Amino acid sequence: MNNPLIRKLEQFTRLSGSDRTILDELASTGIRRLSARRDLVREGEKPRAINLMLDGWAFRYKMLEDGRRQIISFFLPGDLCDLNIYLLREMDHSIAALTPLTFCEIPRDTFEQVTERPRIVQALWWDSLVAAAIQREWTVNLGQRNALERISHLICELFFRIRGVGLNDDTSFFCPITQNDLAEATGMTSVHVNRTLQELRGRGLVHWKGKQVEIPDLGALCQLALFNQNYLHLDREGAHLDAND
Amino acid sequence: MNNPLIRKLEQFTRLSGSDRTILDELASTGIRRLSARRDLVREGEKPRAINLMLDGWAFRYKMLEDGRRQIISFFLPGDLCDLNIYLLREMDHSIAALTPLTFCEIPRDTFEQVTERPRIVQALWWDSLVAAAIQREWTVNLGQRNALERISHLICELFFRIRGVGLNDDTSFFCPITQNDLAEATGMTSVHVNRTLQELRGRGLVHWKGKQVEIPDLGALCQLALFNQNYLHLDREGAHLDAND
DNA sequence: CGTGCCGTTGACGATATTCAAGTGCAGTGG
DNA sequence: CCACTGCACTTGAATATCGTCAACGGCACG
C-alpha cells in the first residue's frame, strides 16, 4: 500500500525499512470509510482514537451558537489529528469528510507501540510542530491579509502540502473545496470568494475549474499572497537522523 | 517560590510533592529577565531552548514582508512555548516581551528529566492540547466574529486564563495590552479597536482603565462574545491521575 | 519643558456583506 | 429522451463594517 504518512514524514527524515513496516501496520488497523460531508468526530463527544487520513480530504470546523461556521484546518492524506487527544474529556470541535474518505482509527495502545522508535517519534513531533505552525499562519492570514491575498495564500499552502505527499500534478492539483468551503475557511462570504477567484483568474494566477486547480506561475502567486514557506519546515530538517538502509 | 506552571497544571490534575519539586527545579534553571517590548526569540533563528514564562506577559507575532504585523498568541505566567521546538532548524515566528519579563530557558536535557514522571508528562500534554485549542479558537474569532464580539471574546479568554493561574482580582485583572496590541491581535485597526472599546464601555460590559480591566458581568460578556469555555478544558479532566499526598 | 507614546475624534473612502435573482450542470426518475 | 431537482457558481445593487488619514489631548518620563 502507498502510505501517505510515510511520504509526509520522509520530508523530515529518511525512515528505515522497519520504520516503514511499523507505519504500514499502523495505517492498516481500524480502517473506516465515510461518504462526503459526514462527520467523523463531533464537538462534545468523548475522543476515541487518533485518526489518520489515508485517502480523500477532511476538515476541522467549529460552529457558533447562532449557526456561523468556521473551517479551522484541512486534512490531506497522511495527516494525523490530535496525538494524545484521549487525554481530553470531550472534543472542542468537529471533523467532517470533504470527499469520500478512507481513514483509520488508531487506538491508544496501538499507537503507543511506535513510542519505541525514536526516529518515528521525532518525525511525529516534527509533524505536529508543523501542524501548529500552519494553524498560526491561518491566524496571520485571517488577521492581516485581504481577500485576494488570503485566498492566494491558502491555495499556495494547499499546493505545497499536496506536493509534499506527491499528490500534485506538476502545476495543478485536485482540490475538492467548494467556494462555500473556501468562504468558511477564509472568513469571507461565498459571494466575495467568487469575485476574488474571478480576479485571480483574470490576472492569470489561478485557474480553478471544477475540482482542479492550476497555478501557471507559482512564484507570482506566492508573491501576491506574501507566502513564505518557512513555516512548513520542508527542508529535511531531520536529515541528521536519516536511516542508512 | 510561587510557580505559575504548577498552578496551571493543577487545573488538570493534582500533583504530588515530588512532582512539584521537579517543576520547581525546572522553573529555577536558566532564569532570564527582559525589558518590555524586547524580542526573546526571533524568526529565522535556531531554536535554543524551551521557554517558560514566570512573571509578566509576552506574545508571539509574525511580520509580513511589507511590515504588517499579527500577534498570534499571548503568553501569561505559567505558559510554555513549544515543547520539542529544537527539532526545527529555524523559528518561523518571533516572541517578544509585553511587559518586563522573567522567564527561564530550559535546555533540552533538563527538560527530558521530567519525562520520567508520567503524571507531569500527561499534564504537559494536556497543556499543549489546550494551547492548540486556543490557537484554533483564534482562527474562529478572526474568521467569524465581528469587532465587538472579537474583542469581547479575547477579553473573556484572557480572564479565564489569568484566573487559571490565580492572577485575577475577583471581577478584574491586570492586562498590559495597549489598544495597538489589541488591534494587531484581532486583525483590526487601532482606531476601530478604540471605538469598539468605547461601545463595550457604553454598554457597561468592560471597563478598561489603563492596564486594569474590569468585567462587571462576565456572563453578559460571554454571551455577547459567543464565548464557550469548553476549549480551555478547565474541568479537571485529569482528576483520575490525582496524586494522593 | 520638550518628547514620545497612548488614547481619542471626525470625515471620508475602501472593502466586504447582504439580499435576491438567475445560470449551468450533473444526477434522478418518469 | 426529457423534465425535474439540487447544488455550485455567478451577477447586480444597496448597505454595513471597518480602514485611512490627519489631527489633537493627556500623561509619563527624562
For chain B, the straight-line distance linking the first and the last C-alpha, in angstroms and rounded, comes to 20
Residues A98 and A186 in one domain: no
Q: Measure CB to CB from residue A87 to each of B85, B90, B238 and give the nearest one.
A: B238
A225 min Cα distance to partner chain B (Å): 10
- pLDDT, position A1: 62
How much of chain B exceeds pLDDT 70, in percent? 100
B140 in a structural domain: no
Residue B241 scores a pLDDT above 70 = yes
pLDDT at residue B1 is higher than 80 = no
For residue B133, give the amino acid letter.
A
Q: What are the tens digits of pLDDT across the range A165-212? A: 999 999 999 999 999 999 999 999 999 999 999 999 999 999 999 999
Q: Residue B102 corresponds to which amino acid? A: T
Cβ under 8 Å to B: A residues 192-221: none
Reduced to 3 DSSP states, what percent helix, strand and coil does chain A have, rounded to the nearest 5?
Answer: 45, 20, 35
A229 touches chain B (CB under 8 A): no
Whether residues A173 and A103 fall in one domain: no
CA torsion angle A201 A203 A204 A209 (round to 10): 0
Does one domain contain both A90 and A153? Answer: no
Q: CA of A240: which chain B residue's CA is closest?
A: B87
Q: Under DSSP, is residue B147 helix (H, G, I), strand (E, B) or coil?
A: helix
Question: Beta partners for B106?
Answer: B50
Interface membership of A231 toward B (CB under 8 Å): yes
Residue A123: inside a domain? no
Q: What is the CB-side half-sphere exposure of residue B31 using CA atoms within 13 A? A: 10
Provide the CA A151 to C1' D11 distance, Å, integer: 20
Domain count, chain B: 2
Same-domain status, A103 and A159: no
* Same-domain check for residues A100 and A151: no
- Average pLDDT on B39-63 reads 97
* Cell numbers at B60, concatenated: 508571539
Measured CA to CA, the distance from residue B191 to residue B180 in angstroms comes to 9
Q: Is residue B244 part of a domain?
A: no
One domain, residues B173 and B95 = no
Q: Name, in order, each residue with C-beta under 8 angstroms of A212's C-beta and a sequence gap of 6 or more.
A: A172, A173, A174, A175
Q: Which CATH number covers residue A68?
A: 2.60.120.10
Q: Are residues B51 and B99 in the same domain?
A: yes
Q: CB of residue B189 closer than 7 A to nucleic acid strand C?
A: no
Residue B181 · residue B59 · CB < 8 Å: yes
Residue pLDDT, tens place only, B143-164: 999 999 999 999 999 999 999 9
Question: Could you give phi then psi for residue A71, rounded to 5 degrees?
Answer: -85, 125
Same domain, yes or no, for B9 and B111?
Answer: yes
Which domain covers residue A187, as residue numbers? 146-225
Cβ–Cβ < 8 Å for A233, B92:
yes
The answer to whether residues A21 and A103 belong to one domain is yes
Judge whether residue B30 contacts strand D, using its CB and a 7 Å cut-off: no
Chain A, chain B: beta-carbon pairs less than 8 Å apart: 130
Residue ranges in chain A modelled with pLDDT below 70: 1
The DSSP string of B12-69 is T-PPPHHHHHHHHHHTTSSEEEE-TT-EEE-TTSPP--EEEEEES-EEEEEE-TTS-E
Asked if residue B150 and residue B75 are part of one domain, the reply reads no
Does A184 map to a domain?
yes
Distance of CA B46 to the CA centre of its chain: 23
Same domain, yes or no: B151 and B216: yes
| B140: nearest Cα among B130, B127, B128, B149 | B149
